[in-house]
Chains A and B, each alone.
Chain A
Amino acid sequence: MNRFDYARADSIGAAIAAAGTPGGSFLAGGTNLLDLMKIGAATPERLIDISRLPLDRIEDTDGGLRIGAMVRNADIARHPEVLARYPALAEALLSGASAQLRNAATTGGNVMQATRCSYFQDPLSPCNRREPGSGCGALGGRTRNHAVLGWDEGCIAVHPSDMCVALAAYDAVVEITGPEGSRDVPMATFHPLPDAAGAGTPALAEGEIVTHIRLPDPGGMARNARYLKLRERTSFAFALVSAAAALEIRDGVIVSARLALGGVAARPWRCHEAEAMLVGMVPTRGSFTVAAAEALTGATPSGDNAHKIELARRIAVRALDLAAAGTPDRLPALPASAFAGEDNG
């Protein structure tokens, strides 16, 4: 690990000022950055500890919620309003990492976490994301876990977050503050997509910091929302593919639909066309199959991962199925698992 300086920021302004000079990295829960430093995939000269910034509250807004960037993942997942109105978010969070990590990891850190692409994590491999201009080491390598949507030759990594997939489905907005003032970016487009030259322009400019996540009123979708995640290990594993789905159903007809896919792209993949198709349809497996096919229309393998396209299609159908059936009153013991049990007879 390289030698680095450490400073604690006491205010948002101080954090922004400290980050305005090159070589600095924000440190919040540390569950990702410190690992990357240990393996040499991140070598910041300065850590600016923002974990004590007053951004650790979940506030009620006009029908929605505003979550501070320093709120721990576990605290979001167990918040009564989240459980009542955004159950797919709670389920996504509880399907991620381990209990210990969820207790430490922050909202902002979850959004900003790095890809788990093994070539990004291997300092000996080229990686445009780690070292712009060096190329993509994953192309032509072990790509079972890599992107099938929105990728380009500059980068085929996927974003690892479960939380962000649910947030994207809920139309969440990322609040950013920086030297130039504040701005809002939709969660669904916050993470850049790669191009032929690289991993895309980073979401945050120098000195910028994520301060909050804003969730709008879920309206009639509150109790028809689910998150479903496919992985070979039941806990403590990233998604092979995942899906967040939410529906508003009135008089047996879908009046509003949300669908976002995880594990398939460099960002949580929001499926607007598929959602539009569902509006006016009856919530049946047939409808969901049509919509899921639409969602994966542009998908292409980035290597040895054609199976992910079919798996993503299928998990979209299943997540919509589950959403239509209604969110269970209590979160299942195996959150987001195909074996959660409520519809297994």
Chain B
Amino acid sequence: MDDMLNTQGHVRLGSSAGQPLTRRDGILKVTGAAPYAADARPEGVLHAVTLAAGIARGRVARLNSAAAEAHPGVVKVYTPANTPALAVSPDEKIHPFVWRMEVLQDDRVRYAGQPIAMVVAETLEAATEAARLLAPDYEAEPHRVTLDDAEPFDTETTAFGRPANMTKGDLATARATSSRHVTTQVDTSAQYHNAMEPHAITAQWVGDRLEIDTPNQAIGLSKQTFSAFLGIAPEQILLRSPFIGGGFGSKAILYGAQLLTILAARDLERPVKLALRRDQVYGPTGHRAPTRQTLRIDMDDMGRITALDHDTITLTSSFDQFLESASNASHSLYAAPVLRTTHHGRRADVGTPGPMRAPGEAPGSAALEIAMDEAARAAGLDPLDFRLLNHADTDPASGMSFSSKALRECYAEAAGRFGWAGRPQEPRQMREGRLLKGWGMGTAQFPCPMFQAAAHATLRADGSAVVETSAADMGQGAWTALAQIAADGLGIDIDKVEFRSGHSDLPDAGVAGGSGHTATAGTALFNAGSDAVRQLADLATQDPASPLFGAGNAGVTARSGRLWRNDDDRSEAYEDILARAGLELIRGEGTGAREGEPTHAMFSHGAVFAEVLVDPDLGQVRVSRLIGAFAAGRIINPALARSQLLGGMIWGIGMALQEEALHDTRSGRFVNNDLAGYHVPVNADAPMVEAITVHEDDPFVNALGIKGVGEIGVTGTVGAIGNAVWHATGVRPGRFPIHPETLI
């Protein structure tokens, strides 16, 4: 652990927060020393491989278990006939973030890729081959896997239990009195998270205590979920997730094969490891569902929006409900006095979708920004001028003031850097040699939720500290940013902070999702540090032997490992205060959460400008420049924040031009469930991407003023690229990703 904390060589200007420290776990990661779940090799570990269903709907009629069991090295083959029962129904909803657990409790096939058996063997190779030997026979039933043929259903709620429909104002009257309108339809495709690390779990029972290594974005919640399905106390479970090789939402929701591995470890009384292959991730671990969005924007003569109507049709599975809440992207971005958002569900024989980086916001923003450009054109206005004209000074949906909103500054900063001024309004006006060149923009917005977190901060006799919370680092840099906040809470140098994180025996840090992890866990850590300092200050100011004695009224300030009187320049080191009091340590506790009903609308904002080059003969698109400016409250670590924002923007390139998971509609199986067939951007696709942060103080969002940067980069970007493609070619994209053949 000590190696991990080596951050020498940084120049610090005052406090830790705000400094671009390099990742404290960076050396471990680039040298391969950081332990990931599939690296766990407990003594006697067995290897599990699941068999994926080859049909989309029906039942498994027969499995050749005998052939699999006879394969050398096989220990046991689990099928619905012999799999231990769960403590509760696989459909039990312990909390809203539980999907049906596919744990071989029946022989139904609900989607292609669903696990229908699991082989446990002495080697991975033996388990893999034995799974193949199971050669299932099916009784197939007619299935549906696309938006076009799926079965419509009425719904009151979308993702996370949000209301499916919302109306504000009188739409009919607004339409009747508006002078112009545009209607836009945009389809977005099914997408898969494709984290670099596919899902994995290593489970072992030590007595009646279960130890699990599995990458997880919601450690506390997952412990509860496991305990409920296994029928054991949460205290019996130790979940370790120190490092996560990318999550993007897919590792926030548990899936059945994790439970199956745990059951096998209990049944066989040996540790069992399951590491999904890339193709096996497609189906059971969530995805972003496709959407078909229709927007109508009504305007007055000046181009002011009079009504905004946003409808989304999207897919969920046949057995659970998670509907991409895309229309909600229109709630709070532009000043629409009349607003209607609707969602329509459809059921298909696919795995249940789930949260994927900017769930709802990403596809919703993509469609909204295309519609806004069409509206700008109808109004005869520059796209940026049109957005400024329709800037929302208060939140249209709630009527509340924004807690902070430096969006105008973002527009100005990014447009200036990009060189937007002088952009011709008509398409196909700019060239670079023989290539068409186009400029487009989009507004970025993402809400600022907070969850529940707890933390401990312990000052030690030598003036160092250990801070503890079960945070999840999935690459965003929690090990570093949260330690920076903790150091400031304790008033000591970050080099003296040991950061313990990533396992479930520590205080719950809440979910690493919703771009709220730094704000939530950071607040808990800061409060824990403050609590420790407060105790220390009480000791010193009440001790006649301390130079701080009697400073109680004016107070003391913690800085650089010392407490300083506020009324003169005397100070005392933490270790001296502890030594005199005869204490080995002082422990502070803290929580992080948002108290009470919100009084403000709270969002991060940004503006993204894209330049594309399009080959006029071949229709190939290249994003030659992408510049975003973001206002996201207090930035804890500018280097990490920049990486998060760049990563989000590059996701936008993928969503705009490349990413789409395809099924064969006849078999219901995927045709591109690997990284050769499902394309995500490579370095050569992102030659120039720049993310700027704009200063923003937010006194309302939380005491630390943190808003979050994990997801906002995706929003705005997809629409900006789509709009730039229109500007280059004159073709308005009706679907993402944009294919070359649609542009020639």
Interface residue ranges, A against B (CB under 8 Å): 1-3, 38-40, 116, 118-119, 122, 124-125, 140-142, 230-238, 240, 307-308, 310-311, 314-315, 317-318, 334, 338-339, 343-345
Given known pairs A39-B279, A40-B132, the reply for A343 and B434 (CB within 8 Å) is: yes
Residues of B within 8 A of A315 (CB): 617-618
Residues of B within 8 A of A233 (CB): 658, 679, 681-682, 685
Establish whether residues B671 and A141, one from each chain, have CB atoms under 8 Å apart when the complex forms.
yes
Task: Name the residue among B434, B676, B682, B683 with the largest chain A CB count within 10 angstroms.
Answer: B676
Residues of B within 8 A of A142 (CB): 662, 664, 671
Residues of A within 8 A of B435 (CB): 338-339, 344
Establish whether residues A344 and B684, one from each chain, have CB atoms under 8 Å apart when the complex forms.
no
Q: Which of B244-252, B540-548, B735-743 contacts A (4 or more CB under 8 A)?
A: B735-743
Establish whether residues A314 and B279, one from each chain, have CB atoms under 8 Å apart when the complex forms.
no
Establish whether residues B741 and A3, one from each chain, have CB atoms under 8 Å apart when the complex forms.
no
User: Using a CB-CB cutoff of 8 Å, which residues 555-597 of chain B contact chain A?
Assistant: none
User: Using a CB-CB cutoff of 8 Å, which residues 403-421 of chain B contact chain A?
Assistant: none
Residues of B within 8 A of A235 (CB): 682-685
A317 CA / B682 CA spacing, docked (Å): 28
A230 CA / B621 CA spacing, docked (Å): 10
Neighbour of B618 across the interface among A122, A236, A318, A344, CB < 8 A? A318
Given known pairs A311-B744, A339-B622, the reply for A118 and B672 (CB within 8 Å) is: yes
Given known pairs A124-B669, A343-B433, the reply for A311 and B741 (CB within 8 Å) is: yes
Establish whether residues B618 and A307, one from each chain, have CB atoms under 8 Å apart when the complex forms.
no
**B662 nearest in chain A by CB position:** A142
A19 CA / B497 CA spacing, docked (Å): 63
Q: Does B93 count as interface, using CB distance less than 8 angstroms?
A: no
Neighbour of B615 across the interface among A2, A124, A339, CB < 8 A? A339
User: Using a CB-CB cutoff of 8 Å, which residues 648-700 of chain B contact chain A?
Assistant: 657-658, 662, 664, 666-667, 669, 671-672, 676-677, 679, 681-685
Q: Can you name 11 A-B residue pairings with CB atoms under 8 Å?
A: A2-B132, A38-B128, A119-B671, A230-B618, A233-B679, A234-B622, A238-B676, A311-B618, A314-B618, A338-B618, A339-B435
Establish whether residues A141 and B740, one from each chain, have CB atoms under 8 Å apart when the complex forms.
no
Residues of B within 8 A of A122 (CB): 669, 671
Taking chain A's interface residues, is the majority helix, strand, or loop, or is none over half, making it mixed? loop
Establish whether residues B433 and A344, one from each chain, have CB atoms under 8 Å apart when the complex forms.
yes
Residues of B within 8 A of A236 (CB): 682
Neighbour of B432 across the interface among A125, A232, A345, CB < 8 A? A345
A311 CA / B618 CA spacing, docked (Å): 6
Given known pairs A1-B128, A125-B667, the reply for A339 and B613 (CB within 8 Å) is: yes
Residues of A within 8 A of B125 (CB): 1, 3
CB distance from A231 to the nearest CB of B (A): 8
A141 CA / B670 CA spacing, docked (Å): 11
A233 CA / B739 CA spacing, docked (Å): 11
Residues of B within 8 A of A307 (CB): 741
The 5 closest A-B pairs by CB, nearest first: A345-B433, A344-B433, A307-B741, A234-B684, A118-B671
A2 CA / B71 CA spacing, docked (Å): 10
User: Using a CB-CB cutoff of 8 Å, which residues 107-129 of chain B contact chain A?
Assistant: 125, 128-129
A281 CA / B672 CA spacing, docked (Å): 44
CB distance from A99 to the nearest CB of B (A): 11
Establish whether residues B615 and A338, one from each chain, have CB atoms under 8 Å apart when the complex forms.
yes
Task: Name the residue among A1, A39, A234, A240 with the largest chain B CB count within 10 angstroms.
Answer: A234
A165 CA / B446 CA spacing, docked (Å): 48
Residues of B within 8 A of A140 (CB): 666
Residues of B within 8 A of A118 (CB): 671-672, 677
Establish whether residues B669 and A317, one from each chain, have CB atoms under 8 Å apart when the complex forms.
no
A317 CA / B434 CA spacing, docked (Å): 14
Establish whether residues A232 and B620, one from each chain, have CB atoms under 8 Å apart when the complex forms.
yes
Q: Does B438 count as interface, using CB distance less than 8 angstroms?
A: no
Residues of B within 8 A of A40 (CB): 132
**B52 nearest in chain A by CB position:** A124
Establish whether residues B744 and A314, one from each chain, have CB atoms under 8 Å apart when the complex forms.
yes
A334 CA / B676 CA spacing, docked (Å): 19
CB distance from B186 to the nearest CB of A (A): 19
**B675 nearest in chain A by CB position:** A236
Given known pairs A39-B279, A116-B676, A141-B666, the reply for A230 and B671 (CB within 8 Å) is: no
Q: Does B431 count as interface, using CB distance less than 8 angstroms?
A: yes
Residues of B within 8 A of A308 (CB): 741
Interface residue ranges, B against A (CB under 8 Å): 54, 72, 125, 128-129, 132, 277, 279, 431-435, 613, 615, 617-620, 622, 657-658, 662, 664, 666-667, 669, 671-672, 676-677, 679, 681-685, 737, 739-741, 744
Neighbour of A345 across the interface among B72, B434, B620, B677, CB < 8 A? B434
Establish whether residues A1 and B620, one from each chain, have CB atoms under 8 Å apart when the complex forms.
no
A204 CA / B561 CA spacing, docked (Å): 76
A235 CA / B680 CA spacing, docked (Å): 11
Task: Name the residue among B129, B618, B619, B622 with the largest chain A CB count within 10 angstroms.
Answer: B618
A234 CA / B737 CA spacing, docked (Å): 15
Task: Name the residue among B671, B677, B737 with the largest chain A CB count within 10 angstroms.
Answer: B671
**A307 nearest in chain B by CB position:** B741
**B658 nearest in chain A by CB position:** A232
CB distance from B137 to the nearest CB of A (A): 12
A238 CA / B674 CA spacing, docked (Å): 14
Residues of B within 8 A of A338 (CB): 435, 615, 617-618, 620
A231 CA / B740 CA spacing, docked (Å): 8
CB distance from B70 to the nearest CB of A (A): 13
**B681 nearest in chain A by CB position:** A233
Residues of A within 8 A of B741 (CB): 307-308, 310-311
Neighbour of A234 across the interface among B54, B671, B676, B682, CB < 8 A? B682
A334 CA / B615 CA spacing, docked (Å): 15
Establish whether residues B434 and A124, one from each chain, have CB atoms under 8 Å apart when the complex forms.
no
**A310 nearest in chain B by CB position:** B744
Residues of B within 8 A of A116 (CB): 676-677
A77 CA / B514 CA spacing, docked (Å): 47
Residues of B within 8 A of A238 (CB): 676
CB distance from A176 to the nearest CB of B (A): 29
Residues of B within 8 A of A3 (CB): 72, 125, 129
Residues of B within 8 A of A343 (CB): 433-434
Residues of B within 8 A of A1 (CB): 125, 128-129
Given known pairs A142-B664, A240-B740, A314-B618, the reply for A344 and B669 (CB within 8 Å) is: no
A237 CA / B677 CA spacing, docked (Å): 8
Neighbour of A124 across the interface among B54, B72, B620, B676, CB < 8 A? B54
**A306 nearest in chain B by CB position:** B741
Establish whether residues B617 and A317, one from each chain, have CB atoms under 8 Å apart when the complex forms.
yes
Residues of A within 8 A of B432 (CB): 344-345
A344 CA / B613 CA spacing, docked (Å): 10
Residues of B within 8 A of A317 (CB): 617
A233 CA / B620 CA spacing, docked (Å): 9
Neighbour of B617 across the interface among A124, A234, A318, A334, CB < 8 A? A318
**B617 nearest in chain A by CB position:** A314
**A122 nearest in chain B by CB position:** B669
Establish whether residues B618 and A234, one from each chain, have CB atoms under 8 Å apart when the complex forms.
no
Residues of B within 8 A of A141 (CB): 664, 666, 671
Establish whether residues B682 and A339, one from each chain, have CB atoms under 8 Å apart when the complex forms.
no
A245 CA / B630 CA spacing, docked (Å): 47
A116 CA / B676 CA spacing, docked (Å): 9
**A117 nearest in chain B by CB position:** B671
Given known pairs A122-B669, A338-B620, the reply for A232 and B740 (CB within 8 Å) is: yes
Establish whether residues A334 and B684, one from each chain, have CB atoms under 8 Å apart when the complex forms.
yes
A250 CA / B534 CA spacing, docked (Å): 89
A176 CA / B330 CA spacing, docked (Å): 64
Given known pairs A2-B129, A314-B617, the reply for A234 and B744 (CB within 8 Å) is: no
CB distance from A69 to the nearest CB of B (A): 24
Residues of A within 8 A of B679 (CB): 232-233, 237
**B431 nearest in chain A by CB position:** A345
A344 CA / B624 CA spacing, docked (Å): 13
**A39 nearest in chain B by CB position:** B279
- Extra contacts, 14 of them, besides A1-B128, A235-B683 (Cβ < 8 A), are A3-B72, A38-B128, A40-B132, A118-B677, A141-B666, A232-B737, A308-B741, A314-B617, A314-B744, A338-B618, A339-B435, A339-B622, A343-B434, A344-B433
